[in-house]
Amino acid sequence: MTPLSVLAHLAGFLAPALGVGLLLWTGLRVRRKGRPGFGAAMQLAMLCVAGGVVLLVGLVYFGRDGKIATYAALVLTQGTVAWWLRGR
């Protein structure tokens, strides 16, 4: 497998976490309160890292990628992180 192929597989694996993270982050930016908190880049990083960890745990637990239970856990985890960030 070439390095470019490895990057393509990794990007495909992390795409759901990045996509959901970007959507939630956009919602955080639109409905922002006046209180100080984490910066925009830190919020996006926290959402994407949490999603990536969930996808990795799902891959290890189920032995394969693409299980609906993993995607449900991804949405629940990233939604919880976004909710926590919104309160900060």
35-61 tens-digit pLDDT: 667 888 999 999 999 999 999 999 999
- What's the CA gap between 88 and 50, in Å, rounded? 17
Instruction: Give tens-digit pLDDT for 60-77.
Output: 999 999 899 999 999 999
> For residue 52, how many C-alpha atoms fall within 13 Å in the half-sphere facing its CB?
13
pTM over 0.75: yes
